[in-house]
Amino acid sequence: MPRGGRASARLLSVGFSVGLLIALALGPASARAAPYPPLPVGLDRQFVGNLTAPTLSPGSTGTLAFTVSDPLNQSIDAVALELGVYAFNGFPGNATSFVPVAGAPVLVTPATSGSSANVTVGSLGPGATYRGSVTVATSSSTPSGTFAVRVALAFRTGSTDYYLASRGWFNATVWDRATELPNGSATLNLSVLGVSGVLPETAVLVATNDFDWILGGLLAATFVLVGAAAWVYFRRGGSSSGAR
């Protein structure tokens, strides 16, 4: 096949690969079973922001940056953020698989190195923002592709614990039940998910040549949009039961 034809075919497969990544990667993961009280509609998007993941070549390192904020009118305590590399979509070939993948990037903190990283934020006052980061390290054997990173946040106000999670923490069955009504229309039921709110997530791109950088950039951007769909879309109407 001519080079242009191969390039077109690979580009056309991006959309299918993103869907496959979501369908497969969410299979084994689930959020905590215990229900947490829902936050007011739209407030969840204000807790974690500025997620900036690096684009790397095999064997290099970069920084995944983020902010954690307190949008409430009271302090939040025992604030802890968890980041985890949980799914992989490779190219060329757009092969989708679960992490661990041989040579997958690791998240590095001063205390740990692995597929997940826990960041202790501590306490934040009303309106305060914590700016942090973790190192993303690859090896010479890290394959080219997009590595999805899920996000979770836990904190306490008074005697009440809250827990927010991105889409990657839920299996497909639970997610479908929480986001689709029997008539097929969209909703977001936090009680079904058992969390206080839904967070965005991000993706680390590993690429070895110019074409991979272009294709991988498209795939990473598309994945982030799909992964954040609930966070962006379900910002309307709601009830104290957590159904939106």
Q: What is the mean pLDDT of residues 53-71?
A: 96
Secondary structure letter of residue 108 according to DSSP? E
Phi-psi region of 78 (alpha: psi -120 to 50; beta: other; left: phi over 0): left
Residue 27 and residue 174: Cα distance in Å, rounded?
A: 10
Question: At a CB cut-off of 8 Å and minimum separation 6, what does 184 contact?
Answer: none
Q: Answer yes or no: is pLDDT of 82 > 50.
A: yes
| Omega within 30 of 0 (cis) for the link into 100 | yes
On whether the CB atoms of residues 41 and 236 are closer than 8 A, the answer is yes
What pLDDT score was predicted for residue 187?
86
Burial of 236 (0-12, 13-18, 19+ CB in 10 A): exposed
Question: Which stretch, 10-14, 219-223, 235-239, has highest mean pLDDT?
Answer: 219-223
Which amino acid is it at 48? V
With residue 164 as reference, give the H or E element that holds it. Answer: strand 160-166
> First CA to last CA across the chain, in angstroms?
49
Q: Answer yes or no: is pLDDT of 67 > 80.
A: yes
Residue with tokens 């904020």: 69
CA-based nearest residue to 9, from 92, 97, 96: 92
Backbone angles phi, psi at 128, to 5 degrees: -75, 155
In angstroms, what is the C-alpha Rg of the chain?
A: 18
What pLDDT score was predicted for residue 18?
41
Q: What is the mean pLDDT of residues 60-89?
A: 96
Question: At a CB cut-off of 8 Å and minimum separation 6, what does 126 contact?
Answer: 70, 72, 73, 74, 75
147 by DSSP, 3-state: which?
A: strand
What pLDDT score was predicted for residue 93?
52
Separation of CA 44 from chain center = 14
Name the percent of the chain lying above pLDDT 90: 54
Q: What is the mean pLDDT of residues 92-110?
A: 77
Q: Which domains does the chain have, with CATH numbers?
A: 3-233 (2.60.40.10)
The Cβ of residue 172 has, within 10 Å, a number of other Cβ atoms equal to 16
**Of 88-102, 120-134, 164-178, which gets the smallest average pLDDT?**
88-102
Secondary structure letter of residue 43 according to DSSP? T
pLDDT, the chain, mean: 79
On whether the CB atoms of residues 34 and 118 are closer than 8 A, the answer is no
Q: What is the mean pLDDT of residues 28-50?
A: 79
pLDDT band at 102 (very low <50, low <70, confident <90, very high): confident
pLDDT band at 231 (very low <50, low <70, confident <90, very high): very low
For the record, the structure tokens of 75 come out as: 């302090």
What pLDDT score was predicted for residue 229?
44
Burial of 217 (0-12, 13-18, 19+ CB in 10 A): middle
